[in-house]
Amino acid sequence: MTVLDIVFWLLAVISIGAALAVVFLQNIFRAALFLVLCFFAVAGLFITLQADFLAVAQVLIYVGAISILIILAIMLTREMWRGNPGGRFQLPAFIIALGLFGVMVWAVINTSWQISAELPLVPTTAAIGSRLFGEGGLLLPLEIAAVLLLAAILGAIVLVREK
Amino acid sequence: MLTDYGYVGLFLIIAILFAVSMPLLPLTLSLLGLVPKKPNPIKTSTYECGVETIGKTWVQFNFRYYFYALLFVVFDILIVFLFPWATKLKQLGAGAFVAVLAFLLILMVGYIYAWMKRVLEWK
């Protein structure tokens, strides 16, 4: 076993353990903190795959911003100390999640993954920049992403305005 | 490249060791009997930045904070798009510059709308 294998299994165990803690913990604030740990472990997995830009984006957006959003949403919740009581949909949700897990495992096993013989490109940031903005780049999807972000801002404004 | 991340990992290990040793150090010292234990009500009272604690730990915050969190997420995502462009600024040229300008202008519409509707003011 190489060092990379050890790091991979360590990160895999941390991310899956943290994800299970998110589901099973009664205190939702602690669940949110475990979600942050899970995001961090996934960023580590991106690093082991030599996807440096993706790892930094994962830390910047998921660990830095999305988790702040989730924690703020918990802080805004009334009577959050009641914890995470099981609802009527516990069993149907479990069955659907199990079905989704089965479909994903089936897809992963049955896909013939193509493995490139070329060495990975490092660092990836400049390559992503020329792919996004260069000749034949993805400019239209980029502007559509801007419109999506604009919709998020407008939605937030509607949310906080009284009347 | 991967060895560079080894240094980051080293910092992470040092940070975790520091965080674990800070609470463990006084606990072991008191277990060894090196620290005298003379509790009194004032000493054992809950301490919070020098101010006396009032009420419960969990209070419901103003929902307006959520607006700022949402804005933060939007402009955080903006950085992810701007950063790859900035690393290849000179090679990409004017076309990419116009595209980024259009990207920023679309987002500015939301910012100016927020300004006009006075939602950035704290009431």
List pLDDT tens digits, range A72-129: 888 888 777 777 677 788 889 999 999 999 999 999 999 988 888 888 777 888 888 8
Probe site for chain A from B62, B63, B101 (most A CB atoms < 10 A): B63
Query: Where are the alpha helices (H) located in chain A, listed in sequence order?
Result: 3-24, 28-48, 52-57, 67-76, 90-110, 125-133, 139-160
**H or E element in which residue A42 lies:** helix A28-48
CB atoms within 10 A of CB A113: 5
Cα separation, A99 vs A105, whole angstroms: 10
Minimal Cα distance from A58: which residue of B? B80
Probe site for chain A from B82, B85, B90, B105 (most A CB atoms < 10 A): B85
Cα–chain center distance at A70: 13
Cα–chain center distance at A155: 22
Q: What CATH topology corresponds to B2-116?
A: Methane Monooxygenase Hydroxylase; Chain G, domain 1 (1.20.58)
Residue A102 domain-assigned (yes or no): no
Query: What length is written for chain A?
Result: 163
pLDDT bracket for residue B1 (50, 70, 90): low
Rounded mean pLDDT, B40-58: 78
Strand partners, B51: B48
Contact A123, A53 (CB under 8 A): yes
What ipTM, to 2 d.p.?
0.78
Does residue B24 surpass a pLDDT of 80? yes
Indicate the number of domains in chain A: 2
Cα separation, A57 vs A51, whole angstroms: 10
Residue A161 domain-assigned (yes or no): yes
Residue A98 domain-assigned (yes or no): no
Domain that holds residue A157: 125-163
Does residue B17 surpass a pLDDT of 70? yes
Candidates A76, A123, A161; nearest CB to B61: A76
CB atoms within 10 A of CB B90: 5
Residue A69 domain-assigned (yes or no): yes
Contact A66, B73 (CB under 8 A): yes
Distance from the B30 Cα atom to the nearest Cα atom in chain A, whole angstroms:
29
Same domain, A74 and A134: no
Same domain, A7 and A68: yes
CATH of the domain at A3: 1.20.120.1200
Candidates B65, B92, B113; nearest CB to A129: B92
Instruction: Say yes or no for a CB contact (<8 Å) between B80 and A4.
Output: no
Same domain, A73 and A148: no
Is residue B51 classed as helix, strand or coil in its secondary structure?
Answer: strand
pLDDT bracket for residue A163 (50, 70, 90): low
pLDDT bracket for residue A61 (50, 70, 90): very high
Q: Look at A36-50, A54-68, B52-66 and tell me which has the smallest mean pLDDT.
A: B52-66
Instruction: Say yes or no for a CB contact (<8 Å) between B92 and A156.
Output: no
- Name the percent of chain B lying above pLDDT 70: 98
Q: Where does B11-118 show beta strands of DSSP type E?
A: none
The pLDDT tens digits of the residues spanning A12-38 come to 999 999 999 998 888 888 999 999 999
Instruction: Say yes or no for a CB contact (<8 Å) between B58 and A80.
Output: yes
Residue for token pair 């009581």: A85
Cα separation, A91 vs A96, whole angstroms: 9
What was the pLDDT predicted at A39?
A: 95
For chain B, state the CA radius of gyration.
Answer: 26
What was the pLDDT predicted at B91?
A: 84
Same domain, A74 and A129: no
Residue A41 domain-assigned (yes or no): yes
What was the pLDDT predicted at A59?
A: 92
pLDDT bracket for residue B32 (50, 70, 90): confident
Give contacts of A76 with chain B, Cβ < 8 Å. 60-63, 65-66
pTM above 0.90, yes or no: no
Candidates A66, A143, A149; nearest CB to B102: A143
- Name the percent of chain B lying above pLDDT 90: 19
> Which residue ranges make up each domain of chain B?
2-116
What was the pLDDT predicted at A162?
A: 67
Instruction: Say yes or no for a CB contact (<8 Å) between A139 and B88.
Output: no
Residue A29 domain-assigned (yes or no): yes
Is residue B117 classed as helix, strand or coil in its secondary structure?
Answer: coil
**Neighbouring residues of A121: CB distance < 8 A, sequence distance ≥ 6:** A127
Does residue B55 surpass a pLDDT of 80? no
Q: How far apart are the first and last CA of chain A?
A: 63
